[in-house]
Structure 1
Amino acid sequence: ATSVKLSIAGKASVEHLAVAMPKLLELLKVEELAVRNAALLMVYSAVHHMPQLLAGCMKDTIVPVLHEIAGLKMERKVDLGPFTHTVDDALPLRKASMSIFATCLESLPGSLDIPAFMPVLAKALADVEDIQLQAHHIIIAMSQRQPTFLVPAIDTFVDPLEKTMHKKKGTKTGTELERLNEWIKSALRAAFILSKVEGVTNSKKFADFYGRTRANVKFQAMLGMIEEER
């Protein structure tokens, strides 16, 4: 799968790659995480560089696997002496699946059942930081390309966005604090962009949430910077 990914990026012949693709896509279903991740990265490369290579197998073969992987968690505890650390071995797979969804929305929107993707997007907004940031970017992109699909799902976005905005800063300083502020700002940016989508503010839940957010003094400086970006 890695070799094919590199071949795709190197503009290999579509005809030659198409012959091998059905067999390679079976790797998306194997249990070994490294193999699945390599297969996902191959799909991402194909969607990005040669979308025509996958056009016929997205809906029936690839998208169902992406939906499954987007919700996959494989957490384990690692003993680090005085404390334990939780590692999620499925995180790289979830990140890869969200990258594929994002690229499909841009390059192959017809290959996706976008309403069925909305619960995946809402769940991503409540995931770990890296996945949340991907979800924020997808919302911003969809507000330009597929805004009507965001409106029916808007209520499901409110709670995870608000939770991120109110992340406790605690004793964080330096780069840790900077990173947290960027995370919060990303959620604020997504909310701001959503507020501009026609029909979104008809949702009482979103309108109340966004009203609270705008009135909150601690967010006003960030919102001011976000408004200046437009």
Structure 2
Amino acid sequence: MPEVSIITPCYNSAKYLQETIDSVLKQSFQDWEWIITDDCSSDHSIEIITKNSDSRIKLLKTKKNNGAGSARNSSLTEAKGRFITFLDADDFWEPNFLQEMISFMKTENAELAYSNYARCDENLQPKIADFIADKDVTFDNLLKTCRLSLLSSMYDSTRIGKEFFPEKSKREDHVMWLNLLKKVPIGKPLQKTMAKYRMHEASVSRKKTNIMKDQYLVYKDFMGFSIAKSLYYTANWALNGFLKYSKIFN
């Protein structure tokens, strides 16, 4: 079995997909499988994936478009690696990402770890300061801001099992991490920048005011908090999100 499983959803990602593929193929650590689930792309994403003939790349295809969370779950179901990590079809890893993360997790005896990542424009040029992995992540502090980014995090599925994404939340990554941290005491930080995140101008994840309700439902529906408690954490999340992305503070 491979040491690590890479989980990727793909939907109309042709513009940046080859760069993402190249960043995986160039990894110094080579004992991996990459499970890409195409979510009914209408561009030539599938052709780009299939032309990269590598037996470690496994392509799944959905019958209808169900969103990134569902696509990730399809890949997770097939994953066989000890370590689980995520890479969206437009993001980028430095060549030592897998090697550094796996070595760190084994050295620290960590069940969950995350690293710095560069926050770039669509051409992978620096846009604002790198996000720094500067503290242990716990369930309590993750309620106020989601410090764990999919492209720079990894967990040990042998020790804690697989954690799937809720398919009825538009904030499925935050819910998934919170559920995982109910089982894991802490996520440990590796202060090295080994990934690049594209900050698309039109990205839904950047329009914080449009997803306040969705974030509120993370706490109210998925964590089972009271209305007052859910409003409290939503306000904290909004403030921390502003500080996280505002150029004034970066």
| Same-fold call, TM cutoff 0.5 | no
Q: Name whichever structure is richer in helix by fraction.
A: 1
Q: Tell me the TM-score normalized by structure 2.
A: 0.26
Of structures 1 and 2, the larger Rg is shown by: 1
Q: Which has the higher contact order (CA 8 A, sep 6+)?
A: 2
Q: Name whichever structure is richer in strand by fraction.
A: 2
Q: Tell me the TM-score normalized by structure 1.
A: 0.28
